[in-house]
Amino acid sequence: MIERIQLPTALADFGDAAIAAAIIVAYLVMAEPYVGFVLHRRFEAAARRFSDARRWLYRRLLLLEWVLAAFCVAVVVIATDVDLATIGLRLPEGPVAISVTVLAVGAAAVMLALTVRFVVRTDGVTQLPAGQSVLAMLPRSPVERRLFSIVSVSAGICEELIYRGFLIAFLAAVLPAAPLWICVLIAAVVFGLAHAYQGAVGVSTTLLVGFILGVLYLLTGSLLAPILVHALVDLRAIPLGRLLAPAAKTR
């Protein structure tokens, strides 16, 4: 479990990287929702005309996520009193943290297996409980499924590093008197707003998921469980995409 003393207690802990850290957080709060909204609206428009629109979107998501994650890591490396362990890049320690990690990852794996089973038993196209923006993203062809698997794993790694590891550490530094759950909640709100392109329901859902992943991070003291759970949840989109294009041609 993460204790308050393990996280930064002042922005000065970031040293010469404090301004860079603040710029990244400002981008996450103010610019990322807009960038995501514009990117997905362009994709939705292109998807009506071009068969490779989803691959175009997947490649840009990969670029954006890995570049932003790299900036966060660079800031931490430069920071005076903040290191990679401070943002959760360490293995869980102790029986409780390890047990919670195993249970959480196991539950996510079961969810993925149940999704695959549901798709296998479903004949033809079915109604999926998701917004139009989410449905448009689901991979249809074998090539798209392979690329989306990389996107899913990358989202697990990059988004957890950014929104759980880096952002919670920054919030702990600027809100030294606040309980850690407040930092987790604020980070979850920022994470939810980053999915504004999904509409109000999508923002609410990702906010809740972000809060759960943040609590999981606090309980285990490591990003390992949040990363694996996030990736497994996103990978569910691959079998679900088959329901939208059961007769898709191999490309």
Tell whether 251 is covered by a domain. Answer: no
Percentage of the chain surpassing pLDDT 90? 82
- Which SS3 state, helix, strand or coil, does residue 124 take? coil
Mean pLDDT for all residues in the chain? 92
What is the Rg, in whole angstroms, of the alpha carbon atoms belonging to the chain?
Answer: 19
Tell whether 139 is covered by a domain. Answer: yes
Confidence of residue 250 (pLDDT cuts 50, 70, 90): very low
Largest separation between any pair of C-alpha atoms in the chain: 58
DSSP state for residue 138 in the 8-state scheme: S
Tell whether 50 is covered by a domain. Answer: yes
Tell whether 92 is covered by a domain. Answer: yes
Least confident of 1-15, 119-133, 220-234: 119-133
Tell whether 141 is covered by a domain. Answer: yes
Tell whether 56 is covered by a domain. Answer: yes
- CA-CA distance, 20 to 60, in Å (whole number)? 23
- CA-CA distance, 238 to 251, in Å (whole number)? 16
- CA-CA distance, 234 to 157, in Å (whole number)? 12
Looking at the 3D structure of the chain, how many domains does it have? 1
Tell me which residue range forms the domain holding 67: 4-244
Instruction: Tell me which amino acid residue 154 is.
Output: S
In tens, the pLDDT along 162-211 reads 999 999 999 999 999 999 999 999 999 999 999 999 999 999 999 999 99
Measured at the CA of 2, the angle between CA 192 and CA 185, to 5 degrees, comes to: 20
Tell whether 250 is covered by a domain. Answer: no
Tell whether 249 is covered by a domain. Answer: no
